Structure 1
Amino acid sequence: MPRTVPEVHTDLVLEPRDVHFDWTGLPLHWIPDEPFATHTINVLHLLLPEGERWFVEVFKEALPLVRDEQLREEVLGFVGQEAIHAEAHQQVLDHLLAQGLDPRPYVRQIAWLFQRVLGPKPRLTARRRRENVIERVAFVAAIEHFTAFLGNWALNSPGLDRAGADPTMLDLLRWHGAEEVEHRSVAFDLLVHLDPGYLRRVRGMLLGGPLLVHLWVRGVRFLLAADPSLDGRVQPSWKAAWHVARRGMLPDPVQSLRSGIRYLKPGYHPTQEGSSAQALSYLAGSPAARAAAGAH
């Protein structure tokens, strides 16, 4: 079945919001008495600073290939938002280090992956360099699908409120999640603009999806082992993840898998995920976003 190439959304205006968070009062287990749930979500802080800086560099490389002015503006807005996301999560890493949990060994591995393995290849011919850029855009589009899924979950996760999660961390997760929902179509639309075929999109997901799961599992294991307050007492397991997800503190693993499968449908477009109206509504009321807006 042929896939309909989506048109760029003419009403999308992406605004980087220069938000700041005060982490001085953040407890190590910001979901009270739930170290497994806390650290499973904390993997975001390990992956996103290096990952989103890599997104920014890939999109900057892709920008000269864009021939649509509206899409070009969306890509620039995306780059601005992702750069701020990276710094917001970096601040949480600095706070973890101050509390005695050293994230740097894992983060160094993530940096090596994005900078060396997935980084630019300057010695390629011009044609192969262009193909390499588009291949990495496909990778970004696949990962952005899951960040939009996670963002939508964060906006609709009352289980975290019921568990008494730290309000500043909740605002970070929901502010970031809302912006992921807001710009959920940009990477996909850029990929379609550069390569309207189906094969590259599938390849991006078949490579990116399993890699993301692998990195997340390793991140949970690392954080639980590195947490100085646990002394190895909490061991990660899929059973524990399922139990915590059923209580609403983590995304449902089955829904996560179904989300990845949706991406592979020929007629798929990211506008089928989440609600822009809900995302913008949260951003209008987010304490951090409102403070950033008031500072300008």
Structure 2
Amino acid sequence: MKLLRRGERRPETDPGEVALHARNVRFDWADTPLHWMPSEPIASHVINALNLLLPEGERMFCAAYSEALPYVKDDTLREAMRGFIGQESMHAETHDKVLREVLAANGIDPARYVRQAEFLFRKTLGPTDAEGAAKQQQMVERLAVIACLEHFFAYLGDWVLNADLEKFDADPRVADLFRWHGAEEVEHRHVAHDVAVYFGAGYMRRAAVMTLVFPIFLTLVLRGAKFMVREDTALPNLGYPRLLTRVFGAMRRGALPGVPSLLRSALSTFEPGYHPESVGSTAQAVAYLAASPAARAVAP
């Protein structure tokens, strides 16, 4: 993750904010292996766990932004939000196909975990029957949660764009899936923060939400990895202590982002004046999106 110091200028090659739009992509998932990094099956499943969470999470993002849009009078922010909704909708649709065409095709039934994700994002974090000021405040809370999650997705996007997954013989289609998605997360990394601030989610509120969101996000990913390992007949059913040992080993080898960088990423949001512009490079993200095989497959 590339953090800019306060007052430090972005590299001249970085174009800054760009007009956001959803990109059509096409993936051929035929014969995609479950262990898409053959020498790193546990790391494969930790990243596979995102496929279990992302469709419902990103649908919640789109629903919350659709609810918030009528209250936004800033035309620039409205356009950014529309682009964000388009990109997140495409992410949800694409990862949903992975559940059916990769996981299910390899004997993994994701339904039980997906039901938990549905409960979390539709019930716990979804709209309620509240009215008036209470309804508005609940919407702002969801926008603050989205801002925190989007920080981590931008961080993970920057990581996967720079990680040498090829040294683990990563399947190029899965690597492209997460790099395409990650590049768009870097590209629109400022939107969720700007929306939360626009709706009055100040420093203290965002800090309090991040304190909750960080451990919950990591727990959900670990639970997803545990689910994948348990359902994978090619692996022993590891308990959490042994699973964590394997995860830490994958981190040391570079197949997963490491704990120190995860902590630095979370703590960076507590710095006064934090803005997600400091995470990643728009120039790198846009360059990858122009070269992504899945995006080029449907390019005019």
The TM-score bracket by the shorter chain reads: over 0.9
1:223 paired with 2:216, answer: no
Which of 159, 166, 175 does residue 161 from structure 1 map onto? 166
What is the count of residue pairs matched by the alignment? 286
Residue 67 of structure 1: CA displacement?
1.6
- TM-score by structure 2 length? 0.91
1:174 paired with 2:159, answer: no
Distance (whole Å) between structure 2 residues aligned to residue 120 and residue 10 of structure 1: 33
What is the SS of the residue equivalent to 1:27? coil
Cross-structure match for 1:43: 49
Conserved? CA contact 1:36–1:234, under 8 Å: no
Conserved? CA contact 1:45–1:93, under 8 Å: yes
1:81 paired with 2:84, answer: no
What is the SS of the residue equivalent to 2:24? coil
Which of 240, 246, 249 does residue 240 from structure 1 map onto? 246
Cross-structure match for 1:258: 264
Q: Deviations 1:192-221 (Å, cap 9, x if unpaired)?
A: 111152122112211211110111111111
Conserved? CA contact 1:101–1:228, under 8 Å: no
Conserved? CA contact 1:141–1:204, under 8 Å: no
Residue 278 of structure 1: CA displacement?
0.3
Taking every aligned residue pair, what percent have the same amino acid on both sides?
48
Conserved? CA contact 2:146–2:192, under 8 Å: yes
1:19 paired with 2:25, answer: yes
What is the SS of the residue equivalent to 2:299? helix
1:86-165 correspondence runs (5 A): 86-94=92-100, 95-122=102-129, 124-158=130-164, 160-165=165-170
Residue 179 of structure 1: CA displacement?
0.2
Which deviates more, 211-220 or 184-193? 211-220
Distance (whole Å) between structure 1 residues aligned to residue 188 and residue 104 of structure 2: 31
Root-mean-square deviation (Å) = 1.8
- TM-score by structure 1 length? 0.92
Cross-structure match for 2:202: 197
Cross-structure match for 2:11: none
Which of 204, 214, 220 does residue 209 from structure 1 map onto? 214
Q: Deviations 1:45-68 (Å, cap 9, x if unpaired)?
A: 011001001110011111112120
Distance (whole Å) between structure 2 residues aligned to residue 34 and residue 114 of structure 1: 30
Distance (whole Å) between structure 1 residues aligned to residue 222 and residue 72 of structure 2: 36
5+ residue gaps in structure 1? 4-8
Cross-structure match for 2:69: 63
What is the SS of the residue equivalent to 1:87? helix
